[in-house]
Amino acid sequence: MLEPINISLDSLNLGTIAPVSIAIIGALGILLTDIFNKNKHKSLYVILVVLFLIFDLFTLLAFNGEPRGLFDLMLLDGISILSQCIIIGGSILFILLSLSKLRLQEFRYAEYFALYLFTVAGFQFMVSSDSLILIFVGLETSSLALYTMIAMHNRMVSIEAAIKYFTMGALAAAFFVFGSMIFYAITGTVELGQMAQILSQDGFLSRENYSNYVLVLVGFVFMFAAIGFKLSLFPYHVWVPDVYQGSTSAMAGFISVIPKMAGFVVALRFFEIFIHANDIIIQTILYVTVILTMTIPNLIALQQKDIKRMLAYSSISNAGMAMAAIVIGTQQSTNALFLYWILFTITNFGAFGILWLNRGKEFKDYESPYTFNKFSGLAQISPFTATILAMFLFALTGLPPFALFWGKMYLISSAVNAGHIALAIIIVLNSVIAAYYYLRPISYMFLRDVEKGANPNFMQNATTPTKSIVGFAVFLIIISVLLIDPLLNIISTLVSNSGF
């Protein structure tokens, strides 16, 4: 007769799952609220989302226990806490943009706001574990919710974007499962920590152990493709411009930064195994991919005549720069990754936020309101709007004293200190290329006259709360130089506690 297994609550360490649980409870709470109170204004649901996310954040910051819990599935270490803070903080900023003037299709449904919280919970699952099973659960939870949210905009271009995203996401999910299966077959575990110990054993990845090495390479290629899709690395980036074009500017901004933070943490935990093993083939694959991801989208962005599509290619290139920090593989570069992405989140939020506030309802399906021509002479019509958008574009360029300059400088210094001089030069050259296409819309706004028949009304979608939150982003990118040292101290402490 089998003895019953006694499991104490203390051994489960449920504090590790508490932050994620709050986001899920919040999503279910919004659905229940809608059942009993129909036709509530969207502002109620926005406030509920913000309150649950703030509670989620406080619960996360209050955690003070063993990092592992729930049968060792959860891993709430410094990296996890730091990345969840960025995910939750960024999600609060982007949901506040929903307090805009236009009552668009998706905002009429409480389900949209519930799906938003499910998306955040999925990303939290991804970064709160080194188990491939739980990472996959988080990946699919967030992805399925995102597909639906994009389609809920109820325009043909949005439905097309959701279908493209879903198709590519399904393929990436299949790659992830197949790669996980191969690594489980080789190592007998799905936990990345244990997998690293087995793969780092002497001779395990040597050319002499041919069958093992080939299987590891095949598994790596599948996992790399899956993670590459989530991070929009070259050549898995082809879905990005069309999905951003079909999404609202607020949703496009969210997709450009929040999912990638979760993807970077998974990449950090997974690629670290092979970077420290000094395998020349895998390191070459990563190195070449990073260079192409920075360079190719930058060159394509030079040809764009639409600000939203230009920002889409820009976000791909910036993901390549952040990915360079993972390839460098030092603690300083890991610190640089998180610093860079915090500053990029604030800057990209501002750029997409301004586009969102300039959104009107008068354009047709498949017609973009964000072409350069439609911003011609904006400085004459609304000098304040033109100045704010220009500041965010200057910040994305990496001009001092704006936010992203400090992120790029620290990233370049981490590459130089690690001996990756060529990579540092490529980052600088790509920043120069990017400066050209960021300055093009600025020239349209300040150096051209207003076109005949152009819409004289800007900031049609703006309300006092949305103006305030974008103004807060402007304030942060200007005073960012004062925030760098405190941020680096916090990042360094949390990263070193994770063993990176």
Rounded CA separation 53/59 (Å): 10
10-26, pLDDT tens digit by residue? 666 777 788 888 888 88
- What is the band of 500 on the pLDDT scale with cuts at 50, 70, 90? low
Residue 91 has pLDDT above 60, yes or no: yes
Q: What is the pLDDT of residue 203?
A: 62
Q: What is the pLDDT of residue 110?
A: 79
Residue 218 has pLDDT above 60, yes or no: yes
Rounded CA separation 397/388 (Å): 14
Q: What is the pLDDT of residue 493?
A: 85
Contacts of 324 (CB under 8 A, 6+ apart): 290, 294, 333, 411, 415, 423, 427
Residue 204 has pLDDT above 70, yes or no: no
Structure tokens, 250: 């607020």
Residue 174 has pLDDT above 60, yes or no: yes
Residue 314 has pLDDT above 70, yes or no: yes
341 versus 6: the higher-pLDDT residue is 341
Residue 125's alpha-carbon distances to 83, 106, 130, 233, in angstroms, are 11, 25, 10, 22
| 290 SS3 class | helix
Average pLDDT value for the chain: 82
Q: What is the pLDDT of residue 232?
A: 84
Q: Which segment of 53-62, 205-214, 420-429, 463-472 scores lowest on mean pLDDT?
A: 205-214
470-497, pLDDT tens digit by residue? 888 888 888 888 888 888 888 888 888 7
Bond into 4 cis (ω within 30): no
Rounded CA separation 421/407 (Å): 17
pLDDT-above-90 percentage for the chain: 4
Residue 61 has pLDDT above 70, yes or no: yes
Across the range 344-348, mean pLDDT stands at: 89
Structure tokens, 412: 């370049």
Residue 159 has pLDDT above 70, yes or no: yes
Q: What is the pLDDT of residue 450?
A: 74
Residue 362 has pLDDT above 80, yes or no: no
Rounded CA separation 299/494 (Å): 36
262-293, pLDDT tens digit by residue? 888 988 888 888 887 777 888 888 888 999 99
120 versus 41: the higher-pLDDT residue is 120
pTM of the model: 0.89
Rounded CA separation 287/274 (Å): 12
Which of 100, 99, 98, 95 shows the shortest CA–CA distance to 120? Answer: 95
CB 283 within 8 A of CB 307: no
417-454, pLDDT tens digit by residue? 888 888 888 888 988 888 888 888 888 888 777 776 55
74 versus 50: the higher-pLDDT residue is 50
